[in-house]
Amino acid sequence: MFKNSTIDSLLIDLINIKSVSGEEDKIFKAIKSFFIKLNFIIEIEEQNNIVFNANLNKNKTILLAGHLDTVLAQDEDQYKAKIINENNDTYIYGRGACDMKAGLSVMLKLALDIYNKEVDLNYNIKFLFYSDEERALPNGLNFLIDKNLKKESLAIILEPTDNKVAIACLGTLTFKVNIKGEAAHSSIPWTGSNAIYNCIQFIQKIKNINYVEKNYDGIKAVSSLSVTQANTTNSHNVIPDNITLTLNYRFLPDFSKEEAIKYIEYKVSKDYELIDISPACICNINLPKSFNKYKKFIYQGWCDMAQLNEYGIPTIAFGPGNESLAHKVNESISLSSLNSFYKNLLEILKD
Ligand SMILES: [Zn+2]
């Protein structure tokens, strides 16, 4: 399945295996047989989720993690890698080129270099591959956590972070609130009470809640609360007797899920329906010294690093590629940035 051992060839082969969420069988089998041929030990395997151990006989282990799936492509052509030379560099285009088959190609390259004894690392390395990251939770990581994934002292998710290190992410809480009215025929609206009008005050109250900005060692994070959906189920000639508003709260990295719920109950209402909640996280440990030269940032969005941190594995995100190209028609990565990321990662793993 993998024709050549260079990092660009590995990436091209990975892009050419279509792996939209829910359809990871093929890429999973290819990666599994790749690692088995290199004599890596399978530590956990559950559906299309797996952890391989390099067993390097070192005191500390770093867990490298990546998701196998991609979002759907806008056009079928994107499932086939394209190589374009421009600006004195080579660019590899295709679905997943940066999110996150570039990260996967780095993991495969490292496994090969370990097998061929071309690298001398200061850590044992485990490789975690999981499915279904691009859809709602739970995803493949939850299957591995449920199987007692071993708690290593550091995990790195190789999501595209453009040479920066994500040390935290915000949490997210989605909930629904119903505002009541009284139904009436719309030709005689004064005989009822319009639930849409009745929610204006509520929406204004939410709009007036300020964004909360907080600095973590000079890195900014902003929490916010937004109304994201408004639904009624009546027909067009009926005054609605109910409107359901969906709200999404993005809470700060050092807020627990319980604190986020308390905040909503205090600021908004005690009368709500919880739809889902995903934890925030901040990775407070001392990273290996070689991380000092990289800029740190906090994901305003949500990332699986929160699940691993909550489970008890200090986790950061650090991977090749530019996140702003993820999921786009022109998703791509330059070969020079992919190679230099690999070099940087080796430097960290030798630290
Ligand atoms: Zn991703």
Residues 16-46: pLDDT tens digits?
999 999 999 999 999 999 999 999 999 999 9
Return phi, psi of residue 301, to 5°: -85, -170
Give me the pLDDT at residue 74, please. Answer: 86
Q: Tell me the H-state helices in the chain.
A: 7-16, 25-37, 101-115, 140-146, 195-198, 200-207, 257-267, 305-311, 335-350
More confident residue, 107 or 136: 107
Q: How far apart are CA 267 and CA 234, in angstroms?
A: 29
Q: What is the mean pLDDT of the chain?
A: 96
- Confidence at residue 302, expressed as pLDDT on a 0 to 100 scale: 93
Mention every residue, 6+ apart, whose C-beta is less than 8 A from residue 288. Answer: 154, 348, 351
For position 184, what pLDDT does the model report? Answer: 98
Ligand 1 center–CA 96 separation, angstroms: 8
- Distance (Å, whole) CA 163 – CA 168: 16
Cα end-to-end distance, the chain, whole Å: 33
Count CB-CB contacts under 10 A for residue 130: 26
Kindly report which listed range (2-6, 118-122, 250-254, 313-317) carries the lowest average pLDDT score.
2-6
pLDDT tens per residue, range 40-63: 999 999 999 999 999 999 999 999
Expressed in angstroms and rounded, the spacing between residue 67 Cα and the centre of ligand 1 is 7
Q: Please tell me the distance between residue 103's alpha carbon and the centre of ligand 1 in angstroms.
A: 9
Ligand 1 centroid to Cα of residue 195, in Å, is 40
pLDDT tens sequence across 99-131: 999 999 999 999 999 999 999 999 999 999 999
Phi, psi (rounded to 5 degrees) for 262: -60, -40
- Measuring CA to CA, which residue among 109, 128, 131 is closest to residue 118? 109
- How many whole angstroms from 201 Cα to the centroid of ligand 1? 39
Is the pLDDT assigned to residue 14 strictly greater than 80?
A: yes
Residue 128's region, left for phi above 0, alpha for psi from -120 to 50, else beta, is: beta
Cα 133 to ligand 1 centre (Å) = 7
pLDDT digits (tens, 9 = 90+) for 216-268: 999 999 999 999 999 999 999 999 999 999 999 999 999 999 999 999 999 99
Residue 4: its pLDDT value, please? Answer: 85
Omega within 30 of 0 (cis) for the link into 107: no
pTM of the model: 0.92
Mean pLDDT within 168-178:
97
Question: What's the pLDDT score for residue 3?
Answer: 82
What is the CA(99)–ligand 1 centre distance, in A?
5
How remote is the CA of residue 180 from the centroid of ligand 1, in Å? 40
Q: What is the reported pLDDT for 6?
A: 95
Residue 76, Cβ density class (10 Å: 0-12 exposed, 13-18 middle, ≥19 buried): exposed
Nearest alpha-carbon partner for 8 in 340, 327, 294: 340
Angle 137-140-145 (CA atoms, 0-180°, nearest 5)? 95
pLDDT of residue 1: 76
- Residue showing tokens 């399978």: 42
- DSSP letters, 71-113, are PPPSSGGGGS-EEEEETTEEEEESTTTTTTHHHHHHHHHHHHH
In this prediction, residues 286-309 reach a mean pLDDT of 95
Q: What is the 179 CA–ligand 1 centroid distance (Å)? A: 37
> What is the distance in A from the centroid of ligand 1 to the CA of 21?
11
Interatomic CA distance for residues 258 and 120, integer angstroms: 44
- At residue 136 the predicted structure's pLDDT band, cuts being 50, 70 and 90, is confident
Cα separation values, 134 from 38, 68, 120, 195, 265, Å: 29, 10, 34, 36, 30
Distance from the alpha carbon of residue 186 to the mean position of ligand 1, in angstroms:
48
